[in-house]
Amino acid sequence: MMGRFMAVTFGTPVSFESELTRLRSGDLDALTVLVERYQNRLYRYLLRLVRQPGTAEDLFQQTWVRVMERIKSYDPERNFESWLFSVAHNLAVDYLRRYRPESLDEPLPTGETREDLLPGADPSALEALLVRERAGWLADAMAQLPVVYREVLTLRFEEEMKLEEIAEVLVVPLSTVKTRVHRGLKGLRQLLAKKFQIGTQL
Amino acid sequence: MNEHNEIRDLLTLAAAGALNAEEQRRVEKHLCECPACKAEFDSWQQLTSALSKLPTPEAPAGLVERTRRQLINQAAVQKERRWNHLVMGCLILFGWALTFLSWPALQVVGDKAAQWLDIPLTTVTWAWMVYTVAAWIATGVVAGFLGKRYQQEGRAV
């Protein structure tokens, strides 16, 4: 009864005893059902992190291989989704550290004082921008954001995770997640403001 | 003024729906009184709602099937690796058992060996001890290296 309630509430039917038992016994069909269920979300998350479709696909596959290897150590009390995304997070960070170490400590475009943001801080201008070019420019600006910030933004707004869940995925304190959301949004607005300025000059 | 600045810093998180109840209440109260903050908040909210409406990139066609095949391959590799571990473990145990068993053997043939080689029995005993210890260390080192290699292979998957 409780299991069903949890499953409905958190959308993680993996907490069903039978499904987990099947997964643990190495049932590949049960695992494939999950691969299918999470394909778009997990792929999107990895793509936002590494930005290259080929690499995102590799990491996607590696994530599921690791899930298969580690499913026995998965604690059923834990939210399956945050466990799955933390497996993907670790693989992506390993990849970035190994092949693109510079990407892990990209600074935000400039400082963070409100003065720096002034050109873009006019809400009506920003509104106009968002209405006109919303998706394309925003996606571009997201891609330019340092990886730690675009990661929390995609987890919060695209995956719609709670901050506590994000903290669990990244294994960082809640306060760090808050700081990253705050700085990420500011950096994003700054990037959009820059684009907007260039856009209006053209 | 202080309250105004504090609230101003909370507006991003407010737009992200990430404040606790107490902070949320404070922010809402302030927004009713301060048009500047309200405008700022609306602008953040536009950004966050645009973010949540970003088009989802479609997963490439056949991704699930390719992943499934990869899983099947890896399951076979894992099975083989587990078998290899077992065989290696047995071999190492067997090696250790042999050196253990060699001690009773020394009691039986030690005298004859010493006579035949024309050296004192103590030398034979010492040689045997050195051999035993060396064999144990060697198997220990081999087991360590193998373990490390398997671990690295596991991580490289």
Closest-CA residue in chain B for A56? B59
Cβ contact, residue pair B54, A28, below 8 Å: no
pLDDT at residue A55, rounded to an integer: 94
Say yes or no to pLDDT of A90 above 60: yes
Chain A, nearest residue to B156 by Cα: A62
**What's the confidence (pLDDT) of residue A120?**
47
Q: Smallest CA–CA separation between A178 and chain B, in Å?
A: 7
Residue A158 near residue A82 (C-beta atoms within 8 A): no
Per-residue confidence (pLDDT) for residue B103, from 0 to 100: 80
Asked whether residue B89 carries a pLDDT value surpassing 80, the answer given is yes
Please report the pLDDT score of residue A86 as a whole number: 95
Closest residue to A53, CB basis, from B44, B46, B60? B60
Check residue A132 and give its pLDDT. Answer: 56
| Nearest Cβ partner for A35 among B46, B52, B64 | B64
Name chain B contacts of A35, Cβ cutoff 8 Å: 64, 67-68, 71
Question: Quick one: pLDDT band at residue A122, thresholds 50, 70, 90?
Answer: low
User: Is B54's CB within 8 Å of A60's CB?
Assistant: no
When the pLDDT of each residue in chain B is averaged and rounded to a whole number, the result is 86
| Least reliable range by pLDDT among A124-133, A170-179, B47-56, B86-95 | A124-133
> Could you tell me the end-to-end alpha-carbon distance of chain B, in angstroms, rounded to an integer?
56
End-to-end CA distance of chain A: give it in Å, rounded.
62
Question: What are the pLDDT digits (tens) for B74-88?
Answer: 889 888 888 888 888
| CA–CA distance, A199 with A197 (Å, rounded to integer) | 5
pLDDT at res. A129: 59
B154 or A200, which is more confident?
A: B154
What is the distance in angstroms between the Cα of A135 and the nearest Cα belonging to chain B?
6
**Contact between B37 and A27 (Cβ < 8 Å):** no
**Does A178 lie at the interface with B, CB-CB under 8 angstroms?**
yes
Instruction: Report CB contact under 8 Å: A69, B78.
Output: yes
Taking a C-beta distance cutoff of 8 angstroms, is the pair B15, B41 a contact?
yes
Overall average pLDDT of the A68-79 stretch:
86
Q: What is the pLDDT of residue A123?
A: 59
Q: Nearest C-alpha of chain B: how many angstroms from A73? A: 15
The answer to whether residue B24 neighbours chain A at the CB level (below 8 Å) is no
Torsions phi, psi of B58, nearest 5?
-70, 140
Question: Which residues fall within 8 angstroms of residue B100, CB to CB, at 6 or more apart?
Answer: none
How many Å apart are CA B12 and CA B47, to the nearest integer?
10
Q: Is A122 helix (H, G, I), strand (E, B) or coil?
A: coil
> To 5 degrees, how large is the angle CA B83–CA B86–CA B88?
110
Query: Residue A5: which pLDDT band, with cuts at 50, 70 and 90?
Result: very low
| pTM of the full structure | 0.73
Q: Does B39 touch chain A if contact means CB atoms closer than 8 Å?
A: yes
Contact B13 A181 (CB under 8 A): yes
Query: pLDDT category, A114, cuts 50, 70, 90?
Result: very low
Structure-derived torsion over alpha carbons of residues B2, B4, B5, B11, reported in degrees to the nearest 10: 150
Is ipTM > 0.90 here?
A: no
- CA nearest A130: which of B40, B50, B48? B50
Find the range with the poorest average confidence among A117-126, B18-27, B52-61. A117-126
Does A87 contact B at CB distance below 8 Å? no
Residues A153 and A95: their CA atoms lie apart, in Å, by: 20
